Amino acid sequence: MGDTGEVRGKNKASQETLDSMIHFSEQYARRSGTFFCSDPMITTVVVEGLAKHREELGSPLCPCRFYEDKEAEVKSAYWNCPCVPMRERKECHCLLFLTPDDPYAGTSQTYIPTDVDYNS
């Protein structure tokens, strides 16, 4: 892929932003004692969504929700990752940060890249 600022695809964030969100996700998982989903595809989709929102909106707005006004949501900061439910109760509805007792929790706090075909 070459240059870290290169755009990875029409609907994807740059590799530089993706790398930044991967680093953030791994650090937050370790700091919060949570683990990525046992299905690495879910982790990939969520992290890529966070990276895309970070580029488009300036903040990693939760990609798993529908927003009437994304800019207003970013300003309120409630759904900026880590969202308030995650920070307060360790509840991540995106399945990115899961407590060890969650049935969908994997055993990894390290991002494992998975190819996602957004055209199918």
Classify each residue of 68-92 as buried b or exposed e, where b means 16 or more C-beta atoms within 10 Å of its C-beta.
Answer: eebeebbeeeebbbbbeebeeeeeb
How far apart CA 60 and CA 52 sit, in angstroms, is 8
Tokens of 34: 């949570």
Among residues 37, 62, 64, 81, the one annotated as catalytic is: 64
Residue 55 half-sphere exposure toward CB, CA atoms < 13 A: 21
64 tagged catalytic: yes
What positions carry a catalytic annotation? 64
